[in-house]
Amino acid sequence: MEERIKTLVADTIATIQQGGGKIVGTVDAQYIARRVNESLEALRAFHPNVSPSRAKRILNIAGNSKTGESFNLPALATCPTGARLAKVEGTVCSRCYARKGRFIFANVIQSTIATYAIVEAVLRDDTLRGAYVATWKAYAKGRRMIRLHGSGDVYSTQYWALLKEIAAACGGTLFWLPTKETLVASDRAIPDNLIVRYSMAKVNAPSDVASDGELISIVVDAVDYDYSGTFRCPATFNPTWQGTCNDCRACADRSKRVIVYRRH
């Protein structure tokens, strides 16, 4: 596992540097390995009465300045489509926010890689998988909404199946999943509480591209953009919100078919 983590560290640092970022602090692969092993040992010794705070630690849920908390993976390393789009000027991913800001700090990089390594271990072990899903159920209890992927995306069909299993086990909680992956967008067998919002690849994409029943999001920076029929994200458009969601949950609201975000 440690060799795999070292590779992920090197790849994540390279991704950030290619986007013009400079790492703040030192990324410690050994710390990541210890953190992953801590969670895996907790899953092996899983107890059904695990507390939400303990479940949060096991799952490695991170703080998020917009939504409070989110489940994050390494940017681009877990973004099959995003990694390609990052090389194309004019796309949202060419200026990915997860390659700058707080994401360049060593502790954040360590956290996203640890989360990814935990997920990969769970996907290889059915016993761990059962405990992992049950831990999500403990964490989600009483929560109105959970954001999936403050960074990262659905990187494989196996991982997508796991996310659907988690959502189905946590029926009382909404899961908001922004994605650029077509394997997700084309799936029609999705739990009702898993709200998939497909992210348009190009900045300033027209707002009338959504097909029937599809939820989409668009990033804009044009001053003359036509906002007809859209919902403008107050966290990015209203300065008084200071970039936070507050109690807004429009992204997980199916009545808001097209949500527009101002470009970071």
Write the pLDDT tens digit of every residue in 47-73: 989 999 999 999 999 876 566 688 999
Cα–Cα nearest to 161, from 145, 183, 128, 144: 183
Phi/psi of residue 254, each to 5°? -65, -15
Stated pTM of the model: 0.92
Q: Helix-strand-coil percent breakdown of the chain, rounded to 5?
A: 45, 15, 40
What is the C-alpha to C-alpha distance for residues 120 and 199, in angstroms, rounded to an integer? 25
List, for residues 3-60, the tens digit of each pLDDT value: 888 888 888 888 888 878 889 999 999 999 999 999 999 999 999 899 999 999 999 9
Report the pLDDT value the prediction gives residue 66, as an integer from 0 to 100: 64
Amino acid found at 98: A
**How many domains does one find in the chain?**
1
Report the pLDDT value the prediction gives residue 15, as an integer from 0 to 100: 83
Report the pLDDT value the prediction gives residue 139, as an integer from 0 to 100: 96
Phi/psi of residue 175, each to 5°? -115, 120
Report the pLDDT value the prediction gives residue 67, as an integer from 0 to 100: 62
Domain of residue 134 covers 2-262
